[in-house]
Chains A and B, each alone.
Chain A
Amino acid sequence: MVPARPVVIALVASALAIALALSLGRFGAYLLHATAIAAIGALSLNLITGWCGQINFAQAALLGVGAYAGGLAGNAGWGLAALPAAGLAGTVAAVLIGLPALRLRGLYFGIASLAAQAIFEYLFKFAEPITKGVSGLLIKPLTLLGRPILTDQGYAVLAIVVLLLTYLVMMWLRRTDLGRAFLVIRENEVVAKGMGINVQRAKILAFAISGFFAGLAGALIGFTVRLAHPEAFGMGLSVDYVAMVIIGGLGSLPGALLGAGFITLLPEAIQRLGEMFHVADLLSALREMAFGLLVIVFLIFEPKGLSALIGRLDPRRWLGGRSADTPQPVTTQDLT
């Protein structure tokens, strides 16, 4: 059973976030839904990378599949059903990407996923009759009960609701036999086999579930940006997502949220700063530079991620009591 307290915290936090979304202006609501959507994607990647220990550089490809599938379904008038449809498309794509993981592990799978990312990116451009190629697929707003959602506030609320559902499912999954099997596979596949875990089945299920949520996140990206474009789902985005789960703290659910917030909001913050100091023409370079530098400095000083940092700030630790009952981030693990 999932303990009650984290669920209550999650519910209260999302209620607050929804209230915030409705009170914010357009830009604030945009930041909120961008972060919430990134968090869904990060939770999905955390399942593969944080729990199963398979580093995956094809997350952007899965988001892309979700965006195209959701966009096509939405344009065809499926309404809200476009979201689960995108999720299913994501599942199919993720299982395809995950198939090599049955034979490979660690770094080798990481590089196979790099290959999958490149191949999907190519397919987005190539399958022109479906994806509209390099010009990109225009996506109509998502319709909810026959009424289109047109405002950023509306999408923020939708994204937060989906994020809440994702978070609850992940919390539940972590406590099932399957969730525990993932962690054993991460620590040692040979041990997992010895314990009678069907490693192949568990891995495929991990990719299927992760793909579903990646598809959902992708569809939300599609509906908020209103355009699915091959360039938008490139290698760079995959790296961003890997950065989110690592900076957040591998294997930790709150960590994935923190990482998503950090990676999504940091460029915006740097943008603001840059505008304040009137260096607008150097902005994009400056933003990237600060991003790279922060990633490096952060990882040198806290290689276990934001969740470990926050765990250390927990006052109960110093008062001699129990530390917080959030899942502990990953201990040492060797992916190579």
Chain B
Amino acid sequence: MFALQLTTAGVATGSVYALIAIGIVLIYKCSGVVNFAQGAYVMLGAYLTYGLVHVGLPAYAALGCAMVLMAGLGVATERFVLRPMLKAPAVAIMMVTLGVLILVKAVCLSVWGPDQIAFPRLFPDGAVEVAGIFITYNYLAAFVLAICLSVAFLAFYQLTPLGLMQRATADNTRAALAIGIHTSNQTSLAWSMSAALAGIGGALLASLNGLSLGLADIGLVAFPVIVLGGLTSLSGALAAGLLLGVLQAFADGLLTPVVEDFLRAHTKIYSAGALQQVVPYALLVIVLLVRPEGIFGERGTERL
């Protein structure tokens, strides 16, 4: 029963991870950029939602506005930061996204301060009981929203003409150009969607765990997710996100007490600390060693 309870909590957080990871994969596929600033988008999305509610907008309108603003910011990043660097070495591009992360974090720090803020209520309090498990509306709504968005997004990518153009750009930019796709517009579109997804993911996470600058670190958790999922696979990111969320919940709820009991009995160590934060990374190292291309990834051939 306890395990089921943990699973539901894990699935809820995991679905939000998946939402954020899909954004990273999208940008990587379309523009070949590893976007470390995704964590910053997550945080900024949450802060913007908070700020707009603070100004007097109703919660859902604020969430919508924040998404639009985030999409704009995504386009701006692509246009003004990434586009001038098209020919730069890959590491320099990686570093510049880290620069964006530092900058956005600093802006949030100066505007909203370092303390944790109570996030406006997006969903009503209370819980539903299903087969003896309590699920708060918060978790339920986060899960439903994140999964719906992820699935809708995957459907858009697979089924619509625009999605086809996106896939063509990601697959082979030159060939896409040759058949008349405006690839740089497609890249901008990918960045805007990705930033908007990250922003809404941030608002959902903040509604679960509260709002603080620490939200930016979620970008770092998203990296194990995309690597587990195989870096270029959107559905892989979704599956890996869910897996990781559940795993974290279990590490927190089941593993930590066991480890701490053992430690207290046999050593002088009193606390096992934040074990759930290390579990994804430990899993990541193991998976990478066994299957370097990720669980759902494809092995690329290597040419000279």
Contacts and interface: CB of A to CB of B under 8 A. Distances in A.
Contacts of A188: 304
Contacts of B110: 282, 285-286, 289
A129 B285 contact: no
Given A49-B91, A246-B92, A288-B109, A108 B288 contact: yes
Given A107-B34, A303-B89, A291 B102 contact: yes
Contacts of A300: 81, 84-85, 96
B191 to A, nearest CB: 15
Interface of B: 32, 34, 81, 84-85, 87-96, 98-107, 109-110, 217, 220, 223-224, 227, 231, 267-275, 277-278, 281-282, 284-285, 288-289, 292, 302, 304
Given A108-B292, A289-B110, A296 B103 contact: yes
B62 to A, nearest CB: 24
A284 interface: yes
Nearest to A104: B292
Contacts of A288: 102-103, 105-106, 109
A299 B106 CA distance: 19
B269 A126 contact: yes
Interface in A232-248: 235, 239, 242-243, 246-247
A295 B304 contact: no
Contacts of A55: 91, 94
Given A107-B34, A119-B282, A304-B89, A292 B288 contact: no
Contacts of A108: 227, 231, 288, 292
Interface residues of A, number: 54
A158 to B, nearest CB: 31
A177 interface: no
Given A188-B304, A286-B110, A299-B95, A115 B224 contact: yes
A126 B269 CA distance: 8
A116 B285 contact: yes
10 contacts: A108-B227, A286-B106, A288-B102, A289-B107, A292-B100, A292-B105, A295-B96, A295-B102, A299-B88, A335-B90
Contacts of B105: 288, 292
Contacts of B217: 235
B47 to A, nearest CB: 13
Contacts of B88: 299, 303-304
Given A104-B292, A128-B269, A285-B107, 20 more contacts: A55-B94, A108-B231, A115-B281, A115-B285, A116-B281, A122-B275, A122-B278, A126-B273, A129-B268, A239-B98, A289-B106, A295-B95, A295-B99, A296-B99, A296-B100, A300-B85, A330-B89, A333-B89, A335-B91, A336-B34
Contacts of A128: 268-271
Interface of A: 49, 55, 100, 103-104, 107-108, 110-112, 114-116, 118-119, 122, 125-129, 188, 190-191, 235, 239, 242-243, 246-247, 250, 282, 284-289, 291-293, 295-296, 299-300, 303-305, 330, 332-336
A190 to B, nearest CB: 6
Contact of A235 (B84, B99, B220): B220
Contacts of A100: 285, 288-289
A284 B107 CA distance: 11
B227 to A, nearest CB: 5
A292 B103 contact: yes
Contact of B227 (A103, A111, A334): A111
Nearest to B290: A103
Find the residue from A122, A127, A250, A304 having the highest chain B CB count within 10 A. Answer: A122
Contact of A250 (B91, B99, B223): B91
A295 B88 CA distance: 14
A107 B293 CA distance: 11
A305 B292 CA distance: 31
Contact of B109 (A103, A111, A122, A284): A284
B271 to A, nearest CB: 8
B230 to A, nearest CB: 10
A1 B47 CA distance: 58
A335 B98 CA distance: 16
A19 to B, nearest CB: 35
A301 to B, nearest CB: 8
A190 B302 contact: yes
A267 to B, nearest CB: 11
Contact of B101 (A119, A125, A292, A299): A292
Contacts of B81: 296, 300
A116 B288 CA distance: 12
B98 A242 contact: yes
